[in-house]
Amino acid sequence: MAHCDALFLGPHPDDVEIACSGAILRLVSSGKKVAIVDCTGGEMGSRGTAAERKQEAVAAAAALGVTERRNLDLPDTAVAVDEDSVRRLVRALRELRPQLLFAPHEKDVHPDHVAAAQLASKAWFFAGLRRYEPDLGEPHRPRMLVRYPGNTPVEPTFALDISDLAEQKAAAIRCYRSQLAGDGPRTHLVQRLDIVERAQVRDRFYGARTGCALAEPYVVDGPVLLRDLGSLLG
Ligand SMILES: [Zn+2]
């Protein structure tokens, strides 16, 4: 089983791309291995079938250079933080052994995103306990749990400059053709913006706040350790 450096947990296929494509592209271009683990197949979404969304997820992972994409096969709109779902994520963490775990922020209007956030907290901790379900693999706890805000704005701890990655990020999101505006009523779409526009508006906002064109917001508990001050000098 190939290990990864960073694992991105998504409630539904496309959530990770919308929020974190820039971070993934940065990691991949510096030679790091990235995995995406989706909780559900997004089968309850208003647009597209489960089969279409599966193909779209494979294409988006390829566009980002992601090494491995898995699905926990939890039910869309009914993601629960129970023993079974925690076990599924613990198994993935122990097999893929990431140093960084990226997961949704708990503050979100979509109950699946809230559940995925809580699932990440539990699995992150329990995966490191030697006596917790030893049949799921050798204990492993990622060094850091990083939250990405979803539908609800959250004040970030840090913002990642992705100004040079606008096109690549848009291309990854555009792999979700069934979720884009153009075919069908735009009223299905949150705030009447399609997912590429939504991501760009958000990233431009955090770019404007931090002094660059586009930035992705992230949240961590506690202080962030810097090895040098280079990135603060601009
Ligand atoms: Zn979602």
Check residue 1 and give its pLDDT: 65
CA of 16 to the centre of ligand 1 (A): 9
pLDDT at position 51 = 86
Give me ligand 1 centre to Cα 233, in Å: 35
Chain mean position to CA 85 = 17
- Provide the pLDDT for residue 123: 98
CA 38 to ligand 1 centroid distance, Å: 10
Question: What's the gap in Å between 194 CA and the centre of ligand 1?
Answer: 14
Residue 102 contacts residue 71 (beta carbons within 8 Å): no
Residue 46's pLDDT is 77
* Those residues with Cβ within 8 angstroms of residue 121's Cβ, 6 or more apart along the chain or in another chain: 103, 145
Please provide the DSSP assignment of 80-114 as one string: --SHHHHHHHHHHHHHH--SEEEEE-S--SSHHHH
Res 190: pLDDT? 55
Q: What is the pLDDT of residue 189?
A: 55
**pLDDT number for residue 181:** 62
> Distance, CA 226 to ligand 1 centroid (Å)?
31
Give the list of residues 6+ apart from residue 172 with CB closer than 8 angstroms, or none.
Answer: 17, 21, 60, 63, 64
Helix (H, G, I), strand (E, B) or coil at 132: coil
Q: What is the rounded distance in angstroms from the CA atom of residue 154 to the CA atom of residue 173?
A: 22
Tens place of pLDDT per residue across the chain (234 aa): 689 999 999 999 999 999 999 999 999 999 999 999 999 998 888 788 878 889 999 999 999 999 999 999 999 999 999 999 999 999 999 999 999 999 999 999 999 999 999 999 999 999 999 999 999 999 999 999 999 999 899 999 999 999 999 999 999 999 998 887 665 554 445 556 788 999 999 999 999 999 999 999 999 999 999 999 998 887
CA of 229 to the centre of ligand 1 (A): 35
Pairing of strands 34-38, 6-10: parallel
Gap from CA of 220 to ligand 1 centroid (Å): 20
Other CB atoms within 10 Å distance of the CB of residue 4: 23
Query: From the CA of 104, how far away is ligand 1's center (Å)?
Result: 9
**Residue 67 CB coordination number (10 Å):** 17
Beta-carbon neighbours within 5 Å of ion ligand 1: 11-12, 15
Cα 42 to averaged position of ligand 1 atoms, centre (Å):
8
Q: What is the whole-number distance in angstroms between the Cα of residue 152 and the centre of ligand 1?
A: 12
Its pTM stands at: 0.94
Query: Going along 107-219, which residue ranges are E strands?
Result: 144-148, 158-161, 215-218
Q: Token pair for residue 5?
A: 């450096």
pLDDT at 187: 43
Domains annotated for the chain, with CATH where assigned, are: 6-222 (3.40.50.10320)
